[in-house]
Amino acid sequence: MNFCTLLSLLLGFFSCSLFVNNGLVAVQALHKVYPELQSLENNDTEIKQLYRTGFHFQPHRHWMNDPNGPFYFKGIYHLFYQYNPEGAVWGNIVWAHSVSRDLINWKSLKPALSPSKPFDINGCWSGSATVLPGFKPVILYTGIDSQNRQVQNYAIPANLSDPLLIEWVKPDNNPIVEPGTEVNASAFRDPSTAWLSFNGHWKTIIGSRSEQTGMAYLYRSKDFLNWTKAEQPLHSVPNTGMWECPDFYPVVRFGRFGLDASVTGNWVKHVLKVSLDLTRYEYYTVGKYYPTTDKYVPDNTSADGWNGLRYDYGNFYASKSFYDPMRKRRVLWGWANESDSVQDDVSKGWAGIQAIPRTVWLDPNGKQLLQWPIMELNRLRWKRVMMIHQELVKGQNIEIKGITAAQADVEVIFSFSSLDKAEAFDPSWVDAQAVCSQFGSTAQGGVGPFGLLTLASENLEEFTPVFFRIFKAEQNHVVLMCSDARSSSLKDGLYKPTFAGFVDIDLSSKKLLLRSLIDHSVIESFGGGGKTCITSRVYPTKAVFEDAHLHVFNNGTETITVEYLGAWSMRSACVN
Ligand code: DQQ
């Protein structure tokens, strides 16, 4: 019996199974729209395996974007996602639905929500789930109505005794929130998971903009059906444009365990995340929520806006977190879009993956979140190779042999004996990505660049380096982390960015940790124990399957020691 069949048995289910611009590209909610490719008549394009992932979540075929409404119910995790059932580009959006017992192996069910009623006839867009007292899940989602307005709807399971919650009902008293006259009806979407206040009132936030001010409008309800807009938004920031997919949740000040959205108190802080349509990155602040006035005030250590903290400094968008009561943790899902061409997506027959779900908690320094792949992922590790106390002198590069380098999990502890050779940091270098592009991974530095060369071809014509470089600033040291896709593929016409972020870390231990999940066309990296995360999508032509290689390298004058490196071949998960 193979693993997927076993999974089906364990889960106990069935078989595995507007804007037309003369045919040119138009943009809606910054999803690029290709009208002629949205609904392919010949729906049986062969699914190309090259670049498909082995252990990331993706549908069997076609287009996927945002994760929607994840929650846990009666032993089963539910994940919904924005999906085009008719093609590999954005369009015809439904809420596809998959279920899992471990967040890694997934079974796909029929779509939970599809456009069918006047209040969502032009699309079932993003939203969230809230599990009401008595274990009653409710979905809040954005419907594009018959007048092309963005309205908020709810949907409930048809049969609560079905743990798979296959059937969902969209009652006729929808929409439950309309934009009204004050809100821009084409910028009003993505309701958050609701939270319950001390006075028994429910609250949710909806992403929007007023002129160029990004808004998280607050709505209140006594019964989850009748919602009233609060006079003041929960939060807003001028000149940040449309806020998509807002997420708002408490985190404990100290400790890793997660909390339900409704928890408040002096022992928690709150996190507000928004997806900025203008930059297509996600920013969050850590702050204080005042439940009586419904104000959220970011701490003065959290920059509010474009210079703020990001969940991920790479390709990660429209994320959504949920509280997992089974393991008492907060889990974060995020969409990693393709960065190849639309023609490539159509010929692959699919587009879009979800990043590996991450546990998130507050850094003990109180200033930022930490993120780490959920522990269930480790069950896919099988063959391990190790390196212990290996010195890397300037220019040294060692191949890590003996694992499937195209589908691997790598953890490294680097150490250095001194920071004396760290180069001077120019205070004008506020853009980490620009600094990384300037220095790259090959030019000699002082302390670094050192790190991993992932998805490398035999003669290094192709490689994606994930690395650190440490600089000396006036008061402290500055750690730069990069995931540089510029040499990732010999193919032209791909988006090959140099993603980068700074790592706010205490270097007194003289150690730096790096973990990279490598999965054919994605590299997800966690620097400094999850302080800075970067996801890159890459499409090598030579470094594929058995021809992919993994190296550890140092191009700085300071000798770097690999104190420990564990690299595992990863088994494939059973995904949809
Ligand atoms: N994607 C959805 C919207 C959301 C955007 C449409 C974010 O609801 O704002 O597919 O990627």
Position in ligand 1 atom list of the atom nearest CA 275? 7
- Grouping H, G, I as helix, E, B as strand and the rest as coil, residue 460 is coil
Please report whether residue 113 resides in a domain.
yes
Same domain, 342 and 486: no
Position in ligand 1 atom list of the atom nearest CA 142? 8
Range of the domain at 145: 3-18+59-373
Is 547 one of the annotated active-site residues of the chain?
no
Q: Are 17 and 108 in contact, with CB atoms under 8 Å apart?
A: yes
| Best residue for ligand 1 mutational test, from 18, 28, 31, 33 (most atoms within 8 Å of Cβ) | 31
Q: Of 345, 373, 401, which residue constitutes the final position of a domain?
A: 373
Q: Of 342, 373, 404, which residue constitutes the final position of a domain?
A: 373
Q: Report the alpha-carbon distance of residue 422 to residue 524 in Å, rounded.
A: 27
CB atoms within 10 A of CB 417: 10
Q: ω into residue 357 within 30 of 0, thus cis?
A: no
Residues flanking ligand 1, CB < 6 Å: 29, 31, 65-66, 82, 93, 125-126, 142, 189-190, 244-245, 318
Q: Report the alpha-carbon distance of residue 277 to residue 64 in Å, rounded.
A: 17
Please report whether residue 24 resides in a domain.
no
Q: How far is the CA of 506 from the centre of ligand 1 (A)?
A: 37
| Best residue for ligand 1 mutational test, from 184, 206, 217, 244 (most atoms within 8 Å of Cβ) | 244
- Grouping H, G, I as helix, E, B as strand and the rest as coil, residue 527 is strand
CB atoms within 10 A of CB 443: 10
- Which residues does 87 contact at the CB level (< 8 Å), separation at least 6? 37, 38, 39, 40, 62, 63, 346
DSSP state of 458: T
Q: How far is the CA of 29 from the centre of ligand 1 (A)?
A: 6
| Best residue for ligand 1 mutational test, from 82, 128, 274 (most atoms within 8 Å of Cβ) | 82
Long-range contacts: 287-295, Cβ < 8 Å, 24+?
Answer: 289/248, 289/250, 289/264, 291/197, 291/198, 291/264, 294/203, 294/218, 294/220, 294/230, 294/232, 294/234, 295/232, 295/234, 295/235
Q: How far is the CA of 261 from the centre of ligand 1 (A)?
A: 22
Residue nearest to atom 10 of ligand 1 (CA): 125
Q: What is the pLDDT along the chain (576 residues), one digit of tens a residue?
A: 444 544 444 444 333 333 333 333 443 446 888 887 888 766 666 677 889 999 999 999 999 999 999 999 999 999 999 999 999 999 999 999 999 999 999 999 999 999 999 999 999 999 999 999 999 999 999 999 999 999 999 999 999 999 999 999 999 999 999 998 889 999 999 999 999 999 999 999 999 999 999 999 999 999 999 999 999 999 999 999 999 999 999 999 999 999 999 999 999 999 999 999 988 899 999 999 999 999 999 999 999 988 899 999 999 999 999 999 999 999 999 999 999 999 999 999 999 999 999 999 999 999 999 999 999 999 999 999 999 999 999 999 999 999 999 999 999 999 999 999 999 999 999 999 999 999 999 999 999 999 999 999 999 999 999 999 999 999 999 999 999 999 999 999 899 999 999 999 999 999 999 999 999 999 999 999 999 999 999 999 999 999 999 999 999 999 999 999 999 999 999 999
State the CATH number of the domain containing residue 545.
Answer: 2.60.120.560
Please report whether residue 34 resides in a domain.
no
Q: Of 355, 373, 391, which residue constitutes the final position of a domain?
A: 373
State the CATH number of the domain containing residue 241.
Answer: 2.115.10.20
Please report whether residue 42 resides in a domain.
no
Please report whether residue 389 resides in a domain.
yes
Q: How far is the CA of 30 from the centre of ligand 1 (A)?
A: 8
DSSP state of 328: T
Q: How far is the CA of 125 from the centre of ligand 1 (A)?
A: 6
Query: Total structural domains in the chain?
Result: 2
Q: Report the alpha-carbon distance of residue 24 to residue 34 in Å, rounded.
A: 7
